[in-house]
């Protein structure tokens, strides 16, 4: 399967791209000037820019063929308590983590509709289901992508296109390293498995959703979070 993974140069995106490549998929990974993993073909893309997204897809289509599956992973954080968060901080995160997902999946569906087949996987977050103090912008975006996936599932299911969300909990990535020690301690006390996840565990869920065995799964949220999101 020809797959495009956004934000494939680090963290969860890099792990997903590597896992899919190892499983025999042809993987293209977007980046903004950084290296992507070995075995992955890089393409520059800024998900906050319509033209940049279109150029990335056109490059893949011209050099390799239509994208058959997309992993919408690219995201940022700009944390802060709501009383101190600026509209600009809120807007930047929404534009990347929510509107950026819309840009990518909308462009991806162009050829999926023609092929009457496709897999869409959006990387959400457990915090988008339960909330997280200091992350009003991030959690709003991650809650929003669930609505995107479920609307896509209803719109596109008759064309053989699935759309699902993976909701990681606390994961051992560079982004997680910016979290305070106190928050880490608090988080671990609430995780039934008592540890953070690994990017490779998120990648395993993404690989499953692209497999033939997942052909009848759509519109769902798969929590890969050690149990912290139970009940959401």
Give the start-to-end residue ranges of the domains of the chain: 2-223
Known catalytic membership, residue 216? no
Select the CATH number that applies to the domain covering 2-223 from these four: 3.40.630.20, 3.90.550.10, 3.40.50.720, 3.30.365.10. 3.40.50.720
The DSSP result for 133-184, as a single string, is: TTBHHHHHHHHHHHHHHHHHHHHHGGGTEEEEEEEE-SBSSTTGGGS-HHHH
- pTM for the predicted model, two decimal places: 0.95
Give Cα 177 to chain centroid, integer Å: 19
Strand partners, 71: 5, 121
pLDDT beyond 70 at 176? no
Dump pLDDT digits (tens) for 50-101: 999 999 999 999 999 999 999 999 999 999 999 999 999 999 999 999 999 9
Of 90, 138, 170, 196, the catalytic one is 138
Edge-to-edge strands of the sheet including 69-72? 41-44, 26-31, 2-5, 69-72, 118-123, 161-168, 221-224
Give yes or no for a contact between 131 and 172, defined as CB atoms under 8 angstroms apart: no
Question: Cα(128)–Cα(111) distance, rounded to whole angstroms?
Answer: 30
Question: Cα(180)–Cα(134) distance, rounded to whole angstroms?
Answer: 12
Question: Cα(199)–Cα(10) distance, rounded to whole angstroms?
Answer: 10
């Amino acid at each position: 399967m020809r797959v495009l993974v956004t934000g494939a140069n680090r963290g969860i995106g890099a792990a997903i791209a590597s896992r899919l490549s190892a499983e025999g998929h042809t993987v293209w990974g977007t980046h903004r000037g950084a290296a992507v993993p070995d075995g992955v073909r890089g393409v520059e893309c800024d998900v906050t820019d319509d033209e940049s997204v279109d150029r990335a897809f056109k490059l893949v289509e011209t050099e390799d063929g239509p994208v058959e599956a997309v992993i919408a992973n690219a995201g940022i954080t700009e944390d802060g308590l709501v009383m101190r968060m600026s509209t600009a901080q809120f807007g930047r995160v929404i534009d990347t983590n929510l509107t950026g997902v819309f840009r990518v999946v909308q462009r991806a569906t162009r050829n999926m509709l023609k092929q009457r087949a496709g897999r869409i996987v959006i990387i959400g977050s457990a915090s988008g289901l339960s909330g997280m103090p200091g992350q009003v912008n991030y959690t709003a975006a991650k809650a929003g992508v669930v609505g995107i996936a479920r609307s896509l599932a209803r719109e596109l299911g008759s064309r053989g296109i699935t759309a699902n969300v993976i909701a990681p909990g606390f994961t051992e990535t560079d982004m997680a390293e910016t979290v305070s020690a106190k928050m880490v301690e608090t988080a671990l006390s609430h995780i039934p498995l008592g540890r953070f996840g690994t990017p490779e565990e998120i990648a395993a869920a993404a690989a499953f959703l692209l497999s033939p065995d997942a052909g009848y799964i759509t519109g769902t949220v798969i929590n890969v979070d050690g149990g912290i999101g139970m009940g959401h």
